Structure formats: C-alpha cells, structure tokens
Amino acid sequence: MDRQFECIRKYMEVVGINLNTTAWDEHITEIERYIQTVKESIRAITSTLPFEQLPHRLIVEIAHNAIFWLNCFPHKDDIHSTLSPHTIATVSKIDFNKHCKLQFGTYIQMHEQHNNSLLPRMSGAIALRPTGNEQGSYYFLSLHTGKE
C-alpha cells in the first residue's frame, strides 16, 4: 500500500493483517502492469464508440466494464491458475451464450413500466456490461434519465 495508509496500521494489526507500505516513489511492478492493462482496455473500448464526447457516467462504466472482463479470465500467476477472480468471488461462471450478447455501447430500446395510456413504452438505452448473474442480464444506461 501507499504510505497514506500508514494511519490504519494499528487497526489492521488488531485483526491480524500485516500492513506492508511502500517507500517513497517505490513502484510495485505487478500493480503498475495491471493499471496499464486496464487503461489499454479502456482505450480500446472508447476507440470503438461513435461518440465524440463521453459523459462522466459513461467513462466510469467503461472502467467497470474493463475490470469486469479482466476479472472473468484466470491469471496464470494469481491465486488459482484455472479459476477466474470473478468465479472465485461470485461462485458463478461466465457463459459466452448468455453474457456476450451485447457489446459495450450498443444502442437498444428498453421496455419501460407503463399503464394503458398512450405514453411511450420503450426508451433508448446504451448497453454497459453483463451483471454476471446466471440469467445473463445486462446493465444499461438510460438515455432518458442518464442513470443505470
């Protein structure tokens, strides 16, 4: 950890966690490489989008999407060589047929709750990422409300 976390050392020792902070200007190569990988994934996603300017919420969701997919694949030097971090944390596996139906940024028409009035029953949305559940649901960004 960075030295800024030094203030919580005594709390960590109480629960049996050895806090290892880095020296000034010291870099952890594994963490630096992971950050580079996340940034490259974000750049790759943004280069495929047809938008000239991205709203803040969309930028945050691009980062969530990149990290979601990085965690869906096992890393050879991680805790387990065949199970992904996503599988270890959630005990569910990603299925291509369920979780890879929509690409990030795909425009869709989303069903809205409605009554029998003549108001629109559909609204535009942008596909963000799979939720990772067994049904294969997705998160969407509503173009009407600007919320997930």
Three-class DSSP labels, 91-131 = CCCCCHHHHCCCCCCCEEEEECCCCCCCCCCEEEEEEEEEC
- pLDDT for 85 equals 83
Q: Tell me, what's the pLDDT at 36?
A: 94
Per-residue pLDDT tens over the stretch 123-143? 889 889 888 888 888 899 888
pLDDT tens for 50-64 read 888 888 888 999 999
Q: How far apart are CA 63 and CA 45, in angstroms?
A: 9
> Has this prediction a pTM greater than 0.85?
no
CA 99 to chain centre: 14
How confident is the model at residue 62, as a pLDDT?
92
What number is the average pLDDT over the span 104-133?
82
Q: How far is 21 from 142, CA to CA, in rounded Å?
A: 42
